[in-house]
Amino acid sequence: MSDSAPDPRGQVSANPIDSPWSYEPSAAACGAQEPESPLASIVIPSHNSQAYLAEAIESALGQNYPVLEVIVVDNGSTDGSPVIAQQYPVRCLRLERPGLTVARNAGIEACCGRYLAFLDSDDRLKPDAIQCGVRLLERRPECAMAIGDHIFIDGAGNWIGDSRKRSLTWAATGDIYELLLKSNFVETISSVLFRRDVFSRVGGFDPTLRAAEDYDLYLRVAKACQGGYAIAR
């Protein structure tokens, strides 16, 4: 992208979209007794991300949800990204650049939360994003994941566009798998909060894919958790 073009980044809002995909709950991750508010994990994969990594980490640590862990998975960076991550109270994993999907999968294996979000290192979360997602999933135990809206911002944080979710309304008929085949309405992985248990059913990200690995994951989750609808708000 040229210097004169806007640098599209994502900012995830706190308005979740219902997607009631059934699942079978399993024991809590890591075997620890859960507090009143269940632990939520935020995994930030990073590769040469020093320009925006601090903002991403601070948006994760700045959530108003009270029980969080943040895991930065460094994917073979050669810039100052590892040093930046170590300046914050986060868990840091270091890999030899196996690729984005492997980095995300490493985060899945390392996390202890009942809920799991993936935050791209050039995105940032609004302060109540995790709290609203957790509230939805606690209220809707049949849901496999909660989807929030998002906007696009430039490198300076200025608004440059809305998501397509604002103009979508899915009918409450048919299953979510068919709807996703028509359109990847989720758009960005940073707008999703997953139940950690769903990965034990469908596996993680496919490391053989070089693109659309998040879309592939949504489709596998939808196929495994049949039925339901999504409403964009």
- pLDDT given at position 155: 87
* 182 falls within a domain: yes
Cβ proximity of 144 and 127 under 8 Å: no
Q: Is residue 109 part of a domain?
A: yes
pTM of the predicted model as reported, rounded to 2 decimal places: 0.82
Q: Which residues does residue 20 pair with via DSSP β-bridges, in sequence order?
A: none
Domain assignment of residue 146, yes or no:
yes
> Residue 26 falls within a domain, yes or no?
no
- For residues 8 and 91, give the distance between their C-alpha atoms in angstroms, rounded to a whole number: 27
Domain residue limits at 86 = 9-18+36-224
Among 230, 40, 227, 228, residue whose Cα is nearest residue 138:
40
Quick check: is 229 in a domain? no
CB 143 within 8 A of CB 114: no
- The per-residue pLDDT for 142 is 78
Per-residue pLDDT of the chain (233 residues; tens, 9 = 90+): 223 333 455 555 444 444 333 222 223 334 444 458 999 999 999 999 999 999 999 999 999 999 999 999 999 999 999 999 999 999 999 998 889 999 999 999 999 999 999 999 999 999 999 999 998 888 878 778 888 888 888 888 888 888 877 655 544 444 677 778 888 888 899 999 999 999 999 999 999 998 999 999 999 988 887 533 333 34
Number of domains in the chain: 1
Residue ranges in 10-142 assigned as alpha helix (H) = 53-61, 81-85, 100-110, 129-139
Which CATH number do you get for residue 178? 3.90.550.10
